[in-house]
Structure 1
Amino acid sequence: MNERAIRIPAIGLDLKVFIEPSATEGRATLIETHDAPGFGPPMHRHGNETEVFHVLQGRYLFEVDGERRIVSAGETLTALAGTKHRFVNIDDETSPMLVLISPGFDAASFFGQLRDVMTDGVPDPATLARFGAKWDIEFLGPPLKAHAA
């Protein structure tokens, strides 16, 4: 297991890459995220990757293609490639999730570069769009707010 830690304070995210795509012949990547309360990604869509989210502790509000669902510790949710999705940690504490990404995705490079893009907080939409285009990820709107639960 190759464990690489990445911290992005501007978006309340700490993550570890547990399994890189090279270990699965490009079939999958496994990461663990730790999201601070009230934080989560903006609405986005992956052109190629399906993400399977397994909540280890706490509660998250997910929105996938317009449908919202609270996912609690021990529960799993899938966002298929091409679906619009976002989530927010609605718990009072930082909460961890395992995220299986298939096919494999260079999460270490993606999140390392995202950390650089987010250095001064959320970048303007054009900068985020250019960054996403390099990864075939389309950013479509703001993050969910915790009070939306």
Structure 2
Amino acid sequence: MTFQLSTTRADNSRIEIPAIGLELRVCMEPATSGNQLSMIETCNAPGFGPPFHKHAETEVFYVLEGRYLFEVDGKRFVANVGDTITVPGGIPHGFVNLDDRPSRQLVLIVPGLDAKAFFTELGDVMKMGRPDAALQSAFAAKWGVDFLGPPLRRP
């Protein structure tokens, strides 16, 4: 894998998706690694996480702050600060922020994904809350994501 010089400032523009309590910053665009790797920093509001889903890309989550409940391939477990979770491509997964304050993760995506375009479009699809089935299906087909169910809930 060949990398190019790249810098991202901490004040880089953030993408917000209030419907799923997500704020994120793209830390590394896929072009930096010849489309082999992307990196994002996510901030999840208390009690929020993505819809249960799967996709071809592998994700590596590193918990920077807070506590999450993950479900990966039918197994549930809690991830704390400093924990790393690797979810191979094609495996159903989801997570929810267990804390009463925002929690943060650093996420590596392999191969690289245009996270800026993906999450900007997801925000547009979800700007009015949960989208209708046709809109969600069109987004899923374009990006190769299977939405398998609602987000996890805090116990």
TM-score, length of structure 2 as denominator length: 0.91
Any idea what SS the aligned residue of 1:38 has?
coil
What one-letter code is carried by the residue in structure 2 that aligns with 1:69? F
- Structure 1, residues 54-113: CA drift from partner, whole Å, max 9, x if none? 000110000001100100000010111000000000011101100000000000000000
Out of 55, 60, 79, which is 1:71 matched to?
Answer: 79
Structure 2 residue 46 is the aligned partner of structure 1 residue 37: yes
Q: If you compute each CA radius of gyration, which structure gives the higher value, 1 or 2?
A: 2
Contact residue 49 and residue 101 of structure 1 kept, 8 A: yes
Structure 2 residue 101 is the aligned partner of structure 1 residue 96: no
Out of 59, 76, 82, which is 2:67 matched to?
Answer: 59
Residues in 2 aligned to 1:127 and 1:38: alpha-carbon distance in whole angstroms: 25
Structure 2 residue 116 is the aligned partner of structure 1 residue 116: no
Residues in 1 aligned to 2:46 and 2:125: alpha-carbon distance in whole angstroms: 22
**CA positional deviation for 1:127:** 2.1
1:17 matched to which residue of 2?
Answer: 26
**CA positional deviation for 1:50:** 0.1
1:105 matched to which residue of 2?
Answer: 113
Aligned pairs, number:
146
What one-letter code is carried by the residue in structure 1 that aligns with 2:20? I
Residues in 2 aligned to 1:112 and 1:17: alpha-carbon distance in whole angstroms: 11
RMSD between aligned residues: 1.0
Contact residue 4 and residue 18 of structure 1 kept, 8 A: no
Residues in 2 aligned to 1:125 and 1:64: alpha-carbon distance in whole angstroms: 24
- Structure 1, residues 93-136: CA drift from partner, whole Å, max 9, x if none? 10110000000000000000001001111112332122111011
Contact residue 31 and residue 98 of structure 1 kept, 8 A: yes
What one-letter code is carried by the residue in structure 2 that aligns with 1:96? R
Any idea what SS the aligned residue of 1:101 has?
strand
2:4 matched to which residue of 1?
Answer: none
Out of 17, 39, 53, which is 1:8 matched to?
Answer: 17
Any idea what SS the aligned residue of 2:79 has?
strand
Q: Which runs of 5+ in 1 are unaligned?
A: none
